[in-house]
Structures are given as structure tokens and as C-alpha cells.
Amino acid sequence: AQSVTQLDSHVSVSEGTPVLLRCNYSSSYSPSLFWYVQHPNKGLQLLLKYTSAATLVKGINGFEAEFKKSETSFHLTKPSAHMSDAAEYFCVVSVGTYKYIFGTGTRLKVLA
């Protein structure tokens, strides 16, 4: 069975400092992995996705994630946080052609 674990429910960073949101996955097969962001009262927006090409994936708004098979991890990073990054972030694993399995989310708070 596939699953995804987001290791932190809340993360607080100061504006201008690095962001690290952690995600571990469990999958019997080669997974596809995604990060989505959810701003209040807005739909989920895709940040980036990994589908067995390059292990370092670059996304929108300066975010990137690295697929590490040996650690079964897909952590999301950004070198410098901006106030507008404050939101809920979801790590998603998918095996096969369509079914997404979401983590429980990490709420990012950015302090001025």
C-alpha cells in the first residue's frame, strides 16, 4: 500500500530564511510524487512533481524538491521564505495512473 507522511504539522520561519518541509513516502513501486500548496479559500495549486526523471525537481515560486529513494523522502525546500509563502502544503504520492494519496499537510507560517 502507498502512503505519505508529512513529518511536521506546523513550521515557522522568518522571512528571508530557508524553508524545509519534510515528506516521507511508502510505495511498493516507483511512485510519482507531488507537492501542492493551498492558500486560504483557494484551490490546491501544483508546486512541482517528480515522475522518475531528474531527482532534483524545480517548481514554481523558487521551490524545489529532491527525490531520495534510499531515504524514501521527497522534502520541499526554498532558499528564502517570502510572506506570501504562508499556506498549507501537501505532499502527494501516486502509483498507477490516477489515484492521489495526500499527506496530512504542513502549515507554513512566515514571520516578519
Nearest to 52 by CA among 1, 24, 93: 93
Q: Smallest distance from the beta carbon of 69 to another protein, in angstroms?
A: 17
- Shortest Cβ 104–another protein spacing (Å): 5
The identity of residue 16, as a single letter, is: G
C-beta of 52 vs 84, nearer to another protein: 52
Residue 100, Cα to own-chain centre: how many angstroms?
A: 14
CB of 28 to another protein, least distance (A): 15
Q: Look at residues 54, 67, 92, 61 and name the one whose alpha carbon lies nearest to residue 79.
A: 61
Nearer to another protein, 10 or 70 (CB): 10
